[in-house]
Structure 1
Amino acid sequence: MHQLKTNHRMWQFEPILLMCTLYLLATSVVAAPQVHETMTIMVEDAAAPWSKRDGTGYANDVVVAAFKEMAVDVQLKVVPYARCKYMVLNGTSVACFNMSWLPEFEGRIKMASQPIYTVNNDMFESINAPLPKSPKSPCTLPPGTVVGTVRGYEYSPQATALQSAGVVFENADSDVQNLRKLAARRLSAALIVTNDLEAKEQKARQAGTEDVVRFAFNCGLSAATIGFSLTHPDGLRALKMYDEGYRRIEANGVLKQIHMHWFPSQPVVRP
């Protein structure tokens, strides 16, 4: 009789033990670490402080952090911007940054929903050969003026309109190269990408030309972000992951932390 009572108690506990076991198994599955994937993304090499030659920069940190939120480890491949742009256009690379929208990208590249930063398109001149200036239309130059631009860069509509007015754009690999050519009087002007987080003459200092070239006038703004290839098999999937990751780092404070790391004395301003 005692044995029967003992067996009866065991039968009572067996369902409880089974439920506990199933609960523990379920929680262990939920708590398991996410499986990470690795994705290679192209980034330009000469856009400090956004993207530097050594692979660091504000924009680099933003892109890596956004994908990290989505359990994706991004490997950045640092290349000249012209190559970055070409590879995302032909679908060799899933994405490239820092890009600005152009109509020619329609059907080939889709931009992230939010810009990473906004920059100025500024015309620089030689101090000893200043450019003519029009008070009515500040971004104008006489036909035949030779202006240094960076190969593959997307400029503002105001800047690109200069070509229709007969201004000649001459390409180089970087703004620094163009400032040195301007200093050597091999150019009449240089169209330089600047930002409000640094002094206008920052790139001139970097080029060692701050004593011979200077800011002349502004030719509009450009918003820069990451562009995803529509012909790459992972392009749209990567775009959706990045947009969601960006939304998360904006909400959880990571984006603000990145900004404070790179620009500790500047307030956070959304592009």
Structure 2
Amino acid sequence: MIRWGRLRHLSPLLLALLGRLTLAAPLPQIGAEDDWYPYTALRDGEIRGMSADIVRAAFAAADTPVELIAYPYARCMYLARIGKLAGCFNTTPDEQVRHDFRLPRQALFNDDILIWTRRSQATPLTQLADLSGRRIAVTLGYEYGPSFDGYSGVQRIAVRQDINGFRMLERGRVDYSIAFRGTSEQLFRDNPSLQGLFQPVYTAHQAELFLSFSREHRDARRLLQQFERGMQIIAKNGRYQQILSQWQHQRPTLLKADTRH
């Protein structure tokens, strides 16, 4: 503890600096998904990925320091919802998320949510009803857009991570797996044994991914305002596009249905 009486002979500037250090608060914490590369993941003890770079750049542009903390997605969203974290990313908002969280005007990025099957049995789908009665692997806690999330005609097989869904698909334990384009491509690069095994046959949703801000955290409203200001800055100065270009990946070819009759 600092005893101010003993410091009365110090200069006013030094006293002011000591006071600021004593009263300094911890940085607000933003939750980052821990296993969703190349967008956000904990790798070699560091939070890395495209959306992590965007979040850091936006807050830096707004001169607003924050701390990113890695969590599994479902845990991250829970902690943000109850106010233990100021926010969490990456979120594909549904009606419940929009009710529980504050969302910025600007998404972090866009990506396609694809339905994949084994290449050896790939048949193009024209509508979700083509999945009726089939088994499809879904990752716990993920949102896949209103059409798929509201469709009750499939058997959803819940898995902890996207790779588990693809492993089940490889072994014939499910008929399909649903996953984002970018993260699926990265999984195949990281796991060469999976390369060339799967084919996307349907786009379930063209998703916007957001940093969701808590409605319960005391700093969240201010951080949302600063984040939006920072996003505008990096959009104007070219930093946002630079980040997207650094992480760009080729879009896979979607198997098209033959509509000729």
Give the shorter-chain TM-score range. Answer: 0.7 to 0.9
Deviation at 1:70, TM superposition (A): 2.3
Question: Please, what TM-score do these two structures have when normalized by structure 2?
Answer: 0.77
Aligned to 2:174, the other structure's residue is in SS state coil
Q: Does 1:239 align with 2:224?
A: yes
> How many Å separate the matches in 1 of 2:81 and 2:220?
11
Letter in 1 for 2:155: V
Aligned to 1:118, the other structure's residue is in SS state strand
- Which residue, 149, 163, 178 being the options, matches 1:176? 163
CA contact (8 A) 1:121 1:159 kept: no
> Residue 144 of structure 1 aligns with which residue?
133
Alpha carbons of 1:264 and 1:148: their partners in 2 closer, same or farther (altered >3 Å)?
A: closer
> How many Å separate the matches in 2 of 1:182 and 1:52?
23
> Residue 173 of structure 2 aligns with which residue?
186
Letter in 2 for 1:50: Y
Letter in 2 for 1:210: Q
Letter in 2 for 1:87: L
Deviation at 1:84, TM superposition (A): 1.1
Alpha carbons of 1:203 and 1:91: their partners in 2 closer, same or farther (altered >3 Å)?
A: same
> How many Å separate the matches in 2 of 1:219 and 1:107?
23
How many pairs are equivalent? 224
- Which residue, 15, 25, 45 being the options, matches 2:34? 45
Letter in 2 for 1:252: N
Letter in 1 for 2:105: S
Deviation at 1:219, TM superposition (A): 1.3
CA contact (8 A) 1:37 1:72 kept: no
Pick the structure with greater CA Rg.
1
Deviation at 1:169, TM superposition (A): 1.5
Deviation at 1:265, TM superposition (A): 9.5
- Which residue, 60, 63, 68 being the options, matches 1:71? 63
Farther off after superposition, 80-89 or 36-45? 36-45
Alignment of 1:191-202 (within 5 A): 191-195=178-182, 201-202=185-186
Letter in 1 for 2:70: V
Gaps of 5+ in 1: 1-34, 267-271
- Which residue, 185, 207, 210 being the options, matches 1:225? 210
> How many Å separate the matches in 1 of 2:51 and 2:101?
19
Cα deviation per residue 1:139-191 (whole Å; 9 max; x = unaligned)? Answer: 333433111111111112232233x2x21212212222211111011211100
> Residue 120 of structure 1 aligns with which residue?
112
> How many Å separate the matches in 2 of 1:226 and 1:255?
15
Deviation at 1:256, TM superposition (A): 2.7
Question: Please, what TM-score do these two structures have when normalized by structure 1?
Answer: 0.74
Alignment of 1:1-271 (within 5 A): 38-54=27-43, 55-130=47-122, 133-134=124-125, 137-162=126-151, 164=152, 166-195=153-182, 201-207=185-191, 208-263=193-248
Alpha carbons of 1:128 and 1:256: their partners in 2 closer, same or farther (altered >3 Å)?
A: closer
> Residue 12 of structure 1 aligns with which residue?
none
> Residue 255 of structure 2 aligns with which residue?
none
CA contact (8 A) 1:38 1:72 kept: no
CA RMSD of aligned residues (A): 2.6
Gaps of 5+ in 2: 1-23, 252-261
